[in-house]
Structure 1
């Protein structure tokens, strides 16, 4: 892990062994990542990724496994990114900002090859963390590209006053422990251009701060949120995502595949801060 911290904002660890995703996220001495309080989906790649504060799904598949058309094989859980190491890592200071760049190469499950060009920026003045990603088709065949960011938080840090707030939510907000029982999930439109914003808080153990998440809606037009309190899991996930929550066949039939031709790229972005 590479430590990534400045005078303001969270102290992060960046996982050079898996997509340069975020492992720990420490605010006021508290690591908000869920650690081992996560469900076991039977895939050690995803177990490792879920432990951290942010991991990246895609670019050939998101969500749970589905069969690759015309074969007996399946797309891996949450796509092929997880467990691919980063290279060309570069840490620099630009003005008051700390910047970390890396490249991740990935062989896609149905064939083809993609590259993630990733930049993290920690704003020195505000402490906001900004992520800019570019997914490039570096192979010889076209493929539909998908992306979802899992921002996972240990729900042990929440109480009855903690809630979700955002214009994309019905009524503008809801309790963090939405739904019934020990789990729940929903996926809603978040916009079609500009940036969407979601807030989670107050979080008492970090002084009542809120987590503020912003994300691009031109390429991430949906927001998925899930929670799992089925022991030993105790986690809440905030998930900006490129596609609505239906199967690949329905997306393809609806003309919702985003086809990336060889040499083409797509840009994605999000930012978060504790305010």
Structure 2
């Protein structure tokens, strides 16, 4: 294990602690107040500065993410609202969407409210508000590495309708500020089913400020409903209550292997000083061939969304007009892979 700038064996670490949770690992807890009451969290601490709140109550999505106590993610005003308050009609998804590092949009629908063969679907589908089942949180030694994982299943089904199941596994190891997400979506039904999937990663202050830069993978870029170009996609600006959201589509040039986008913040808070920080988001380009970029530098809603997807965000009816959506045959499955890695190039102590 690489920890605190040094390599350790298992027994060397165990000799120095009474319990491994002294350094990090996974811990389950339940919120108890207001609209968040009853929401279960699984808090992951890597021992290298990264802390994540994984939320079984909301599809094993990832709420707050922080590094050295400073947030990487943007949180919405709704907080971790219990899914019992979810209203699936129209755009009411926005009333209980948590923000956080990851909100999953799918499994059969993502984007604007639409009429679908299974009936009306609200904004971004049901996955983010569907409690997971068969949830497990594990820690184990694998040689000299202390490995953690969180797993569970999320279902979207209806009598006489679709029957999709997502099996999610989020994993990493102590001493390493990176996570891996593996999602296997299977059609358990006996007819083909639409599969629209969008991974809504949300980054916020202090990762985002006027010094932040963004590197995108090679792609053909365009703005939804506008004339913007790739030149408008990088950098960031101070909050402006009068600014509106903009959405860009980046159609990947290379649809094999893993695509990557990188956010760099040269002055991220690090104790008494700052760190030159890079946050790298990688995903399987063969199953998620499009990156949707949501730019919202407004006041309060001050957030950058980087959203690997297999669809656009105009909804089901628009996908049909464009020759889609992706369909899963009866009994078929697809696996989406994503990785988030945090790198620190140098640290500076302010005098």
With normalisation by structure 1, the TM-score equals 0.86
1:227–1:237 contact (8 Å) kept in structure 2 = yes
1:31-46 aligned within 5 A: 31-36=71-76, 45-46=93-94
Task: Note the residue ranges of structure 2 that are not aligned, 5 or more in a row.
Answer: 1-40, 79-88, 220-229, 270-274, 344-351
Q: How far apart are the structure 2 equivalents of 1:222 and 1:53? A: 19
Residue 29 of structure 1: aligned partner:
69
User: Is this contact kept in 2: 1:76–1:109, CA < 8 A?
Assistant: no
Query: Superposed, which structure 2 residues align to 1:1-275 within 5 Å?
Result: 1-8=41-48, 10-36=50-76, 45-69=93-117, 73-94=119-140, 95=142, 96=145, 97-107=147-157, 111-124=161-174, 126-155=176-205, 157-168=207-218, 170=230, 174-177=234-237, 181-190=243-252, 191-202=254-265, 204-206=267-269, 207-244=275-312, 247-275=315-343
The answer for the alignment partner of 2:15 in structure 1 is none
CA 1:124–1:34 in 2, change beyond 3 Å: closer, same or farther? same
1:30 to partner: Cα distance: 1.1
Deviation at 1:152, TM superposition (A): 0.7
Cα distance change on mapping 1:22 and 1:108 into 2, 3 Å: farther
Structure 2 CA distance, aligned partners of 1:125 and 1:16?
24
Q: Aligned pair in 2 of structure 1 residues 208, 172: CA closer, same or farther (>3 Å)?
A: farther
CA distance, structure 1, for counterparts of residue 289 and residue 171 of structure 2: 22
Question: Quick check: 1:165–1:173 contact (8 Å CA) kept in 2?
Answer: no
Q: CA deviation at 1:107?
A: 2.4
Write the distance in 2 (CA, Å) between the matches of 1:164 and 1:270. 18
Structure 1 SS opposite 2:234: strand
Structure 2 Cα separation of the partners of residues 253 and 44 of structure 1 = 25
Q: Quick check: 131-140 or 253-262, which moved more?
A: 253-262
| 2: CA distance, partners of 1:203 / 1:116 | 37
Determine helix, strand or coil for the equivalent of 1:211: strand
Residue segments in structure 1 that go unaligned for 5+ positions in a row: none
Aligned-residue RMSD, C-alpha: 2.8
Shift of 1:125: 5.2
CA distance in 1, matches of 2:61, 2:264: 23
